[in-house]
Amino acid sequence: MKEYKTLQEFWPFYLVEHSNLWNRRLHFLGSLIALILFSLAFVLDNYYFILAAFVSGYLFAWIGHFFIEKNKPATFQYPLKSFFSDWIMFVCILTGKIDSEMKKAKAIINPPTQETTQNSPKKVK
């Protein structure tokens, strides 16, 4: 795996590792439940909910990676970048920007080669 020094460099890689819609949905669900549990920790003054929030977030994400996307979570090599990227993706899903972000990420990670651009159909004006 390439070494990513900044979150900006890491973000396209992170998104491509989440290409499957159901994987992204599981991440979103786990993050949403984590937010609720984290909030409950303070509302109910029971800080065990914070632990449950982390378990929820990672459990749903890892199920998505191991059983749906069939790849290794980036958390193992880039824990902080992955954590922040989870929340960026969460916001992108909420705001409807995830599709455009995915398109940009795929173009960066898998740029079209000369061969693929030569074989692609020409646009007629």
Which band of pLDDT confidence, cut at 50, 70 and 90, is reported for residue 111?
confident
CA 81, 23, 30, 67 torsion-angle sign: negative
In the predicted structure, residue 117 carries a pLDDT above the cut 90: no
Which of the four pLDDT bands, split at 50, 70 and 90, describes residue 112?
confident
The pLDDT > 70 percentage for the chain reads 89
Is residue 89 within 8 A of residue 24, CB to CB? The reply is yes
Mean pLDDT of 53-59: 96
Q: pTM value?
A: 0.84
pLDDT at site 119:
55
Provide the pLDDT for residue 23: 97
